[in-house]
Chain A
Amino acid sequence: MAERVLFNLLQVAVVLIFAPLASGVLSRLKEMVQSKRGPSMFQPYRDLWKLFHKDEIVSEDSSWIFRFTPYIVFVTPIFVALLIPVLTSYPLFFAFMGDMLGAGFVLALGGFFATLAAVDTANPYGPVGASRTRMVGFLAEPVFMIVFFTVSFVAGSTIPYIVQQKWVTPLANFFAPSHVLLVLAFIMLILAEGGRIPVDNPTGHFELAMIDESKSLEYSGRGFALVKWGGQMKLFVLLCVLLNVLVTPWGLAAGQSYGAVLLAIPLVLFKVFCFLLVLVVIESSLSKLRLFRIAEFLGAALITSVAAMMTQIFLP
């Protein structure tokens, strides 16, 4: 029992430590594609270190929400990391505390507070970004629902530890149309929710075009560091759900020993790296969509998820 609690905490530690590395590697890969020199892949750590040592300035006109939000944005991905399989293929101590819908709600809580905080300071760009994020959010919501319900229909459960085994036993299930289409729809969702390129440009510095970034414009010092780190962890957690639950449940520790669990860390990081390569290809070959075409992008995601549902559920 004590071991399971320990492994669970180890999962959180992995998410905490390697989330900045993942986003550093992602931006490094993009710079290599674009023939830029760019900072090293450890730059996000340095940024966080620098920000933690800077003064924080908080507007006098803001309320408690503004001060409270960085902690919520920082803590919610950690909660989700307790629920999902990051390193082990068997359920850990907190695994039955919440299912995938619960994890989705916890992540949505962070997004909700980030939206409130953006409106709170009356910075003109904050509410613009907040309303755009809500637009993307409500268009992505039905896709999330259909993906989760189809997954749980196939597996007979919404606990991610149980779901992950269904797609590979027997291996032919991996090629079931519902599985492949669900994965496609979920990748589109990650692009939308993570503010990646066809929906939002994460490296853009033009305030009028921002969607995700403009919510944290008013933060500085420690608060900004927490918001930034929280965003990186959110992307990492979403990648873990995609890779460990939906696409490739291989490489996770099956045994209870410390060695097996520690060995799972490089394997999981390797899987994340492989997916980052795919993400770089997507981000380098597409351009950012205009705001009103985001509805078409998420409409395509909806169609994909509905096609997955039809090929699975309607068949006799």
Chain B
Amino acid sequence: MSDATKHLLENLNALAAGLFLLTGFGIVATRQARGCLNLFIAQSLLLAASAALLGLRYNSAHLYGVALVNLVSKPIIVPWLLRRTSPAGIYTRREIDQVLNIPTALLIAMALAVGSYFVGIPLAKAVGPDVRGPNVPIGIAVLLLGAFTLTVRREALPLLIGLLAMENGAFLAGIAIARDLGMLVELAIATDGLIIVFIMGVLVRAVQKQVGTTAVGDLASLKEGSPEAAADEALL
């Protein structure tokens, strides 16, 4: 492989990683549950693209496997599972109030991303001189953005997608660091992700059935355990 081709592949991989970061920001800020899911699908496709490009660059059949697993499990099976398990109205839901307003959330997300660069670059250097490109810092950034999504969103589906975005971020950093991890590990992780989706979908359906909403941010206090209810019962 000529140097020019290598350079091109590295740049394309970096481009996939950069767009991956953008989708991470999008998941923090999108109001529509449907848009959030679409962004997650785009993010998984970009992850698969990054894995395939790195596989081409380093001639690693294992990375092709990672790309394939990601291509099948996340963009196809996850939405299908969600549609089967979670209540139908969940896709049309909009979040009216997040914990923070969107510009503030975006600014904090930006700070997280910049911070993860300061963590990620020394980390990538410590792994070895061979680990170049923005995969490790961007992976860590999306991991943190996913965690941030979990703290600021109040609707069930975006929360689940934040969790899955964390996994995507860890994957993106992982494929750059460990190019020859056992295939079994990848498959196990992918299956784990699907089981998480399944359980969460069923849980959301149960929540919807019990309390009639999927805005889980409002479910801060237990109905029976609240002091007012206890006082009422004492009176009776």
Contact = CB atoms under 8 A, between A and B. Distances in A.
A316 B22 contact: no
Nearest to A172: B8
A170 B7 contact: yes
Interface in B13-60: 14-15, 17-19, 21-22, 25, 29
Interface residues of B, number: 30
Given A304-B22, A315-B121, A176 B15 contact: yes
B18 A307 contact: yes
B14 A176 contact: yes
Contact of A303 (B12, B109, B121, B137): B109
Contacts of B113: 306-307, 310
B18 A180 contact: yes
A303 to B, nearest CB: 5
B125 A316 contact: yes
B47 to A, nearest CB: 15
B181 interface: no
Contacts of B134: 177, 311, 315
Contacts of B117: 310, 314
Say whether chain B's binding surface is mostly helix, strand, loop, or mixed. Answer: helix
B102 A296 contact: yes
Interface string B107-122: 1011001100100010
Nearest to A303: B25
A314 B121 contact: yes
Interface string A70-93: 000000000000000000000000
Interface string B81-109: 00000000000000000000011001101
A35 B39 CA distance: 31
A176 B17 CA distance: 11
Say whether chain A's binding surface is mostly helix, strand, loop, or mixed. Answer: helix
Interface in A161-190: 170-173, 175-178, 180-181
A177 B53 CA distance: 14
Interface string A282-308: 000000000000011001101110111
B11 interface: yes
A177 B17 contact: yes
B188 interface: no
Nearest to B21: A307
B25 to A, nearest CB: 5
Contacts of A303: 22, 25, 106, 109-110
Nearest to A295: B103
B4 interface: yes
Interface string A30-74: 000000000000000000000000000000000000000000000
Interface string B122-135: 00010000001110
A310 B8 contact: no
Nearest to A314: B117
A181 B12 contact: no
Contacts of B11: 172-173, 175-177
A316 B134 CA distance: 10
B18 A311 contact: yes
A172 B29 CA distance: 32
**Residue from A173, A176, A178 having most chain B Cβ neighbours under 10 A:** A176
B12 A175 contact: yes
A300 B103 CA distance: 9
Nearest to A170: B4
Contacts of A181: 18-19, 22
A308 B132 CA distance: 17
Contact of A180 (B7, B15, B121): B15
A293 to B, nearest CB: 8
A228 to B, nearest CB: 33
Given A172-B7, A173-B11, A176-B15, A299 B106 contact: yes
Contacts of B21: 307, 311
B74 to A, nearest CB: 22
A175 B133 CA distance: 14
**Residue from B7, B17, B109, B125 having most chain A Cβ neighbours under 10 A:** B7
27 contacts: A170-B4, A171-B8, A172-B7, A175-B8, A176-B11, A177-B11, A177-B15, A180-B15, A180-B18, A180-B19, A296-B29, A299-B29, A303-B22, A303-B106, A304-B22, A307-B18, A307-B25, A307-B113, A310-B113, A310-B117, A311-B134, A311-B138, A314-B137, A315-B121, A315-B133, A315-B134, A316-B132
Interface of B: 4, 7-8, 11-12, 14-15, 17-19, 21-22, 25, 29, 102-103, 106-107, 109-110, 113-114, 117, 121, 125, 132-134, 137-138
Interface of A: 170-173, 175-178, 180-181, 295-296, 299-300, 302-304, 306-308, 310-311, 314-316
Interface pairs A-B: 5 shortest CB-CB? A177-B18, A172-B8, A177-B15, A175-B11, A172-B7
